[in-house]
Structure 1
Amino acid sequence: MIKDIFIVCRGAGDLATGIIHRLHRAGFKVLALETKKPAAIRRQVSFCEAVYDKEITIEGVKARLITSLDEMDEVIKQGVVPVIIDPEGESIAKLRPDIVVDAIIAKKNLGTFMDMAPLVIGVGPGFTAGEDVDIVVETMRGHNLARIIDKGQALANTGIPGNIGGYTSERVIHAAAYGFIKNIRHIGDVVKKGDEIARIYEKYDNNTSKSGFQGEYVPVNATISGIIRGLIRDGFEVTEGFKIADIDPREGELKNCFTISDKSRSIGGSVLEAVCSYVSGM
């Protein structure tokens, strides 16, 4: 029975959220594993934000941070997705899930192997189906997006973001310096090219009664005109080159900032297909 199948998903960023959302809606029990400081920029559609805000609801599905595995079963009974801080996946051996999905999207394998569960799925590049995982799901936009691979690897990461509205690398903004982010604008705001959307400060002290941001700062300006689709949260510590924002040039697509993307849904559908195929053969 579907309700008896337990799945652990490593990662709860925007792509992982599409996977978790589909699995949960299909009736599977899912636990999400995250880091202490998730770095999602599409924060409105990432279950990992529960790490900071304790709870988040995305398209009718609620996720809640738990601090102990003892809380997991009760949260699942409530129809909520539990999220626990476990970047190393140490809880997997204790829980012995039926299925493990690695959707960290690190572009490399951070420690997921076939002996973790009867079915192990790797999402994106960095995995080899038939060696370290059973199945790989393609994440590269294009003809093969969300293809299920039972032997071999996904396409290598090109470092070039997918084309949206005619823009690729121009729409994604990376930190020009080390420091701490202070947002000037917000996800969903319409901006013009050159507008200041954030600042990178030298220091940040969240214990101060003032704003907490100190020292000199480097402005972060919009690289193109459009809607801020993703923006890393206030106070986040970034290194030079770190991905911090994403602008959608399609100004009429405001709702896209707050809904799961087509890419995420496609990948989630393929993971669901792989899971259902496995369950039907049990």
Structure 2
Amino acid sequence: MEDKLVIIRGAGDLATGVAQSLYEAGFRLLLLEVEKPSAIRRQVALCEAVYDGTAAVENLTCCRCRSLAEVRKAWEGEAIPLLVDPEGASIAALKPWAVVDAILAKKNLGTNRRMARHTVALGPGFTAGVDVDAVIETKRGHQLGRIIWQGTAIANTGIPGLIAGYGKERVIHSQQAGFVYGLVHIGDKVKKGQPMAVLTEEPIPFGMAVTECMGTPILASLTGFVRGLIRDGYQVPQGFKIADIDPRDDERENCFTISDKARSLGGAVLTALLWMGKGEFS
């Protein structure tokens, strides 16, 4: 598989699940991201390498590269390279065997079948057989992970899938525009109504301790573990997703591992690529 380059557009938590499946199958990988990723499940998202230079999730290590020369050097080691390349300019230069759109933007941001021999996209916004070769269903439920060869995924409902009976309650959105600063950390237990972050009108100076009185408190929507929380200082518009709470009392470790949904999507992408590439592997 090492001579088969797969470029994954996106490196959030779901894209990281895809990356793990393809990495373990032996494919050569390159991740593409935006300059300021907004992942809230930061402990399991390789896009954190954009900020920190490197990121580690389970058995994966990712490093940010600033040139194709650095990408090639990363391939010589065990790390998965990541480029800040939201437009996908490196795709034309590297001519990958496959491109996977795992941005999860609910719309197509430019991925097309001309980009590679094989193309796959996750979620709504794409038509299989037109925009890409295959679309993967991302909606939780009976159809999750289904490979669609003709047509589209289920339209975005705006309602998160249920976990322990909770759907929209477990995801927190910003009530106004501003800069987000956490008062808790991913993996912490919070009670419903507890201040877990603040929204400020201006950035807080680096190194200054953050307190509840510095801005508008963001309250926990239910009792549970903080599964996701956007990076400190991230500037958000009103209504932006900023946190996720897991209501299950005995599953704190899930805050630090790739989710069942991400693994399902990763397996589906791998299956789709193997199906399309049958006969091409020596």
TM-score range, shorter chain: over 0.9
* Matched residues, number: 279
* 2:121 is the counterpart of 1:130: no
Structure-2 residue corresponding to 1:101:
100
The alpha carbon displacement at 1:216 in A equals 5.7
Structure-2 residue corresponding to 1:281:
279
Q: Distance in 2 between matches of 1:166 and 1:210?
A: 38
Does the Cα contact within 8 Å between 1:202 and 1:216 map onto a contact in 2? no
**SS at 2:169 equivalent:** helix
Structure-2 residue corresponding to 1:178:
177
**SS at 1:140 equivalent:** coil
Structure-2 residue corresponding to 1:40:
39
Structure-2 residue corresponding to 1:259:
257
Identity rate, percent: 52
The alpha carbon displacement at 1:210 in A equals 4.2
Structure-2 residue corresponding to 1:166:
165
* 2:24 is the counterpart of 1:50: no
Q: Distance in 2 between matches of 1:69 and 1:243?
A: 33
Structure-2 residue corresponding to 1:233:
231
**SS at 1:104 equivalent:** coil
Q: Distance in 1 between matches of 2:137 and 2:76?
A: 32
Q: Distance in 2 between matches of 1:160 and 1:47?
A: 25
Q: Distance in 2 between matches of 1:180 and 1:211?
A: 15
Q: Distance in 2 between matches of 1:174 and 1:105?
A: 17
Which of 242, 267, 278 is residue 244 of structure 1 equivalent to? 242
CA deviations 1:101-129 (Å, max 9, x no partner) are: 00000000000000000101011000000
Does the Cα contact within 8 Å between 2:192 and 2:219 map onto a contact in 1? yes
- The runs of 4+ residues in structure 1 deviating greater than 6 Å are none
Aligned alpha-carbon RMSD (Å): 1.4
Equivalences for residues 1-150 of structure 1 within 5 A: 2-150=1-149
Does the Cα contact within 8 Å between 2:134 and 2:148 map onto a contact in 1? yes
TM-score normalised by the chain length of structure 1: 0.96
Amino acid at match of 1:267: L
Does the Cα contact within 8 Å between 2:183 and 2:210 map onto a contact in 1? no
Q: Distance in 1 between matches of 2:121 and 2:155?
A: 14
Which of 269, 272, 280 is residue 270 of structure 2 equivalent to? 272
CA deviations 1:26-62 (Å, max 9, x no partner) are: 1100000000000000000000000011111111110
The alpha carbon displacement at 1:276 in A equals 1.6
Give the 3 Å change call, closer, same or farther, for CA 241–86 of structure 1 in structure 2: same
TM-score normalised by the chain length of structure 2: 0.96
The alpha carbon displacement at 1:149 in A equals 0.4
**SS at 1:4 equivalent:** coil
Structure-2 residue corresponding to 1:199:
198
Give the gaps of 5 or more residues in structure 1.
Answer: none
Give the 3 Å change call, closer, same or farther, for CA 190–5 of structure 1 in structure 2: same
**SS at 1:257 equivalent:** helix
CA deviations 1:164-186 (Å, max 9, x no partner) are: 01100000000011110111001
Q: Distance in 2 between matches of 1:84 and 1:34?
A: 6
Q: Distance in 2 between matches of 1:209 and 1:147?
A: 46
Q: Distance in 1 between matches of 2:127 and 2:118?
A: 14
Structure-1 residue corresponding to 2:222:
224
